[in-house]
Amino acid sequence: MQIFIAAVDEGSFAAAARRFKLSAAMAGKHVSAIESDLNVRLLQRSTRRLSLTDAGERYYERCKVILEVLEDANREASDVQKTPKGLLRVAAPVAFGAMHLGRIVSRYLEQFPEVSLDVVLEDKYADLLENRIDVAIRVGRFEDPTLVTRRLAPCRMVLCASPEYLKKHGTPETPDDLSRAPRLAFSQAVSAGDWTIYDAQGRPHSIEGPCRMTANNIQLLLESVLAGTGIAYGPNFVFGEHIKQGKLIKLLPAYRTTELTIQAVYPSAIRIPFKVRSFVDFIAKALGDTPLWGEEN
């Protein structure tokens, strides 16, 4: 299969033979043996060039996948005896990275001293290949068939306000009450402006009150809601700790909020470098199925 693929890629048996240190005749015999076993012609041969038949095109694509999977299996088996090393480029949301990633990556670097990290914090989804990102941590309901995802931890949106704000304006009892309150909104959310909660019967209620302030940094909104400026709707990994401490109050606890997922995203399941696998495994174990910010639910 390797010689067949090389012959197609290089355009001749002679070039494929040089890659594997064989004679051109021997390379041709390898491909002829495949054709004989399959009882089908894969290549049209001429003195000038090789060209794939229809069957050859399909076989060529399948062979590439098979050999990539085999190479990845071999690499994974040999990686057991290896240590991850080299530069690892990681992208993550600003708030999640600043609030939760620092301690985890510090422990990772301590355990794997031959790895160096380049961490890029931004809330917009960056193109992984274009920006040479090895792995990205993303929050949301993310679906992209061109990328591979692995679930790291659960996350839930939460509505909250400060005790001072509630003392001054009263505690909302219904979604309509919240619609009349000043909202503090994160402008870079994947579904920006979508404040939807669900009652006990599963019916959605959309909160569409006036926005007192929008910002592209959710930590700024956290400080503003703590200061009593309005109500906020955001992930519990940002607000959960302050709710547990009583600095913020969870609103409409009888209603269910949107469930999200924190996940690792990388370009391909084939040829995943060992440093990427080790990092994702480390993050998943560090966060666990019930991270600390989930305790307020």
- Homologous superfamily (CATH) of 155-257 is Periplasmic binding protein-like II (3.40.190.10)
- Confidence (pLDDT) at 235: 92
The answer, yes or no, to whether residue 295 has pLDDT greater than 50, is no
Torsion of CA 21, 22, 27, 28, to 10 degrees: 140
d(Cα 15, Cα 156) in Å, to the nearest integer? 57
CB environment 231-263: b (16+ within 10 A), e (fewer): bbbbbbbbbbbbbeeeebbbbbeebebbebebb
* Cβ pair 27, 7 in contact under 8 A: yes
What global pTM score does this model have? 0.68
Domain 1-79 and domain 84-151+259-285, same fold? Reply is no
What average pLDDT does the segment 32-42 reach?
A: 94
- For residue 118, list its beta bridge partners: 89
Whether 54 and 42 have beta carbons less than 8 Å apart is answered as: no
Q: What is the mean pLDDT of residues 115-142?
A: 87
Average the pLDDT over each of 33-37, 50-54, 198-202, 264-268 and give the range with the smallest value. Answer: 264-268
Q: Does residue 220 carry a pLDDT above 80?
A: yes
The upper half-sphere exposure of residue 102, i.e. CA atoms within 13 Å in the direction of its Cβ, equals 4
Look up residue 136 and give its amino acid: A
Burial of 161 (0-12, 13-18, 19+ CB in 10 A): buried
Q: Specify the range with the lowest mean pLDDT, choosing from 74-78, 257-261, 292-296.
A: 292-296
CATH class of 1-79: mainly alpha
Check the CA dihedral 147-151-157-163 and report its sign: negative
pLDDT of residue 182: 92
Task: List the chain domain ranges.
Answer: 1-79, 84-151+259-285, 155-257
140 vs 21, higher pLDDT: 21
Q: What is the DSSP letter of 101?
A: I
> In whole angstroms, what separates CA 14 from the centre of its chain?
43
pLDDT band at 191 (very low <50, low <70, confident <90, very high): low
- Give the mean model confidence (pLDDT) for residues 57-67: 92
Burial 192-205 (b: 16+ CB within 10 A, else e): eeebbbeeeeeeeb
188 C-beta neighbours (distance < 10 Å), count = 15
* Mean pLDDT of all residues in 113-128: 89
Please give the pLDDT value at position 260. 86
- The pLDDT value given to residue 210: 76
CATH of 84-151+259-285, one of 3.40.190.10, 3.40.50.720, 3.30.230.70, 3.40.50.1100: 3.40.190.10
Question: Residue 117 pLDDT more than 60?
Answer: yes
User: Do residues 90 and 134 make contact, with C-beta atoms less than 8 angstroms apart?
Assistant: yes
pLDDT tens for each residue of 230-267: 999 999 999 999 999 999 999 999 999 988 889 999 88
Q: Looking at residue 76, what is its pLDDT?
A: 67
Structure tokens at 189: 């959310």
Lowest pLDDT segment from 65-69, 148-152, 188-192, 225-229 = 188-192
Return the pLDDT at 234. 92
- pLDDT at res. 74: 77
What average pLDDT does the structure give for the chain? 88
- Going through the chain in order, the beta strands assigned E by DSSP cover 43-45, 50-52, 86-92, 115-121, 135-140, 148-161, 183-186, 196-198, 204-206, 211-215, 231-235, 249-250, 259-266
> Among candidates 186, 184, 197, which has minimal Cα distance to 252?
197
